[in-house]
Amino acid sequence: MMILGLVRWMQPVHGYDVRRELLSWNADKWANVQPGSIYHALRKLTEEGLLREVATEQVGARPARTTYEVTAKGDEEFESLLRGLWWQLHEPADPFAAAFSFLPALPREEASAALRNRANLLRAGVEWMRTSVNSDWMRETKPVHVGWMFELWMARAEAEIAWCERVAERIDSGVSYLPAGLERAEGWA
């Protein structure tokens, strides 16, 4: 959706400009758009009839540059994908949840230290985002809604910071990982 949307927004546009824009957004970090896959995605979207090649130019010894536009089919697909992402809840897979499932496998001291470390890493990210939101870079070069997205990310990180600290305190206090009465039950270590 990101590549299709950017071509739609910037059209007619070279693949290089799509790549440069996505990198300036750090989309590889939050939208899982890898820089090396952009040209492949442009070709695939063209094969599927969602984009069309408008022109291919060669300047000097540089590689040929293809200019793209969105087709009517591409417009429909973008609108469908966009609305699907706006109106439905899509929980991203979090590898930490898999690791946390095995909390009892870590010594308590290490588990609480790891949670506090996670909170500190998140705190550093929040500070970076807060600085960015209040910077001239954000105010003068980014659309207002980019700042709003940063606010969402900060709120999520702050909630996770509070959770990490709460759970670390519970672990340190010796709260059992098992339901009452199962601490000594067979099969529960």
What residue ranges do the domains of the chain occupy?
A: 1-87, 95-173
How high is the pLDDT of residue 27?
76
Half-sphere exposure of 136 (CA within 13 A, CB side): 0
Short-list 84, 69, 92, CA closest to 4: 69
> pLDDT tens digits, the chain, 189 residues: what are they?
888 988 998 889 888 888 888 877 777 777 777 777 888 889 999 999 999 999 888 777 777 788 899 999 999 999 999 999 899 888 878 899 999 999 988 999 999 999 999 999 999 999 999 998 898 888 888 888 888 989 999 999 999 999 999 999 999 999 888 777 666 655 555
Dihedral of CA atoms 141, 147, 149, 155 in degrees, nearest 10, equals 150
How high is the pLDDT of residue 162?
98
Those residues whose C-beta lies under 8 Å from the C-beta of residue 143, and which sit 6 or more positions away, are none
Residue 62 contacts residue 78 (beta carbons within 8 Å): no
How high is the pLDDT of residue 113?
97
The residues that bridge with 52 in the sheet, in sequence order, are 69
Residue 119 contacts residue 165 (beta carbons within 8 Å): yes
How high is the pLDDT of residue 189?
54
How far apart (Å, rounded) are the C-alpha atoms in residues 106 and 170? 15
How far apart (Å, rounded) are the C-alpha atoms in residues 73 and 138? 34
Q: What CA–CA distances, in Å, run from 97 to 37, 123, 159?
A: 28, 19, 15
No. of H helices and E strands in the chain? 9, 3
How far apart (Å, rounded) are the C-alpha atoms in residues 163 and 183? 24
Query: Does residue 104 have a cis peptide bond before it, meaning omega lies within 30 degrees of 0?
Result: no
Q: Which amino acid is at 187?
A: G
1-87 CATH: 1.10.10.10
How high is the pLDDT of residue 29?
73
pTM of the model: 0.71
How far apart (Å, rounded) are the C-alpha atoms in residues 121 and 173? 23
Class of residue 170 by CB neighbours under 10 A (exposed 0-12, middle 13-18, buried 19+): middle
Rounded to 5°, the CA angle 160-98-176 comes to 75
